[in-house]
Amino acid sequence: MMETSTESGRTFLQLRVVRAEAPYEAVSLKSKLPAPSEDLPLLSGIVARIIGAACQVRKMNVEVFVQLTALAEIQQMARLTEHAREWQPISGLGIWPDREPPTSLTLADIVKLLPGQRPRIDKYKLCRISASGKAREQAWTGLLGTGAVLVILTSDDTAAFLKKTKDALLPPIGDESFRHSSFYVPLVECKSFDSARPEQLESWFCSASLYLRESTEDGGLLIASREPLRPILESLGARLTDGSHPEWQVPC
């Protein structure tokens, strides 16, 4: 279930503050993935409200990606393929900038497996929803809760943003099988912020203003921002709690 609290009959979503170097800020909403059906309205509501509040500040290009491994693991690929005509997905790669560059699975890797041990699952495969406008919104709302959604808001147009991500993420990759993708985008989790310096974050996020990723690694939704999150969250009626582990409480 999603992390909530109740006060005076009102329900609040709890967004835990993730430590990040300025100017970046991040919060995490714990939620079971795939999300139970009763959680989907709350999850969809908070994502829509945050995107809407960010877009009110200035015009944003909303890029939507689908983490294909997460979708395949819960046998929900049909939810993507049945909408392929209207969503127009394009295959690409997600790169973990704080991990070793991706490499192909070799025979030596397979030989080293212990009895009953499965080969590693490379969570690199993504697709980008290339259709514009309502199709992108329909894609993320339709797939939210599967653990597969990644939404990035940027002031750049698509071509400019994907050029920045390619320039930042491609150079460390040595394996030729990973060097010819149609696009590259960053994949981060909460612990990615633990020791990341501001200049590293700037390079990883390629000037993206807002980054929302369903993170199976963290068990929930990660929200990272290059701009202060306080104005966005306060516009939703949220309040920041005190203490050693601060969190934002957002009214549902």
Residue-wise pLDDT tens digits, 15-39: 999 999 999 999 999 999 999 999 9
**Confidence band, pLDDT 50/70/90 cuts, at residue 112:** confident
The overall average pLDDT reported for the chain is 92
Rounded to an integer, what distance in angstroms lies between the CA atom of residue 149 and that of residue 141? 9
> Do residues 62 and 150 touch, judged by C-beta distance below 8 A?
no
Which two structure tokens, joined as six digits, stand for 126?
């993504």
**Confidence band, pLDDT 50/70/90 cuts, at residue 153:** very high
Please report whether residue 17 resides in a domain.
Answer: yes
Q: What is the pLDDT of residue 122?
A: 66
pLDDT over 90 at 120, yes or no: no
Spatial CA neighbour of 201 closest among 21, 36, 13, 9: 21
Please report whether residue 8 resides in a domain.
Answer: no
Rounded to an integer, what distance in angstroms lies between the CA atom of residue 104 and that of residue 119? 11
Neighbours of 182 (CB within 10 A): 13
Residue with more model confidence, 200 or 243: 200
**Confidence band, pLDDT 50/70/90 cuts, at residue 119:** low
Rounded to an integer, what distance in angstroms lies between the CA atom of residue 25 and that of residue 232? 12
Range of the domain at 203: 13-101+120-251
Please report whether residue 140 resides in a domain.
Answer: yes
Please report whether residue 107 resides in a domain.
Answer: no
Spatial CA neighbour of 54 closest among 252, 222, 236: 236
Please report whether residue 4 resides in a domain.
Answer: no
Q: What is the pLDDT of residue 213?
A: 98
Q: Write the pLDDT tens digit of every residue in 40-80.
A: 999 999 999 999 999 998 889 999 999 999 999 999 999 99
Rounded to an integer, what distance in angstroms lies between the CA atom of residue 206 and that of residue 170? 13
Please report whether residue 76 resides in a domain.
Answer: yes
Which two structure tokens, joined as six digits, stand for 132?
């514009």
Which residues, in sequence order, are bridge partners of residue 91?
A: 127
DSSP states along 20-61: --TT-EEEEEE--SSPPGGGHHHHHHHHHHHHHHHHHHS--E
Q: What is the pLDDT of residue 183?
A: 97
Which residues, in sequence order, are bridge partners of residue 14?
A: 249
State whether the Cα torsion 191-43-225-89 is positive or negative: positive
> Do residues 89 and 128 touch, judged by C-beta distance below 8 A?
yes
Q: Write the pLDDT tens digit of every residue in 205-246.
A: 998 999 999 999 999 999 999 999 999 999 999 999 988 889
Percentage, residues of the chain above pLDDT 90 = 81
Q: How far is residue 167 from each of residues 127, 170, 171, 204, 206, measured CA to CA in Å?
A: 19, 6, 7, 10, 9
Which two structure tokens, joined as six digits, stand for 208?
């993206």
pTM of the model: 0.93
Please report whether residue 220 resides in a domain.
Answer: yes
Q: What is the pLDDT of residue 244?
A: 83
Q: What is the pLDDT of residue 115?
A: 78
Into how many domains does the chain fold? Answer: 1
Q: What is the pLDDT of residue 117?
A: 67
Please report whether residue 58 resides in a domain.
Answer: yes
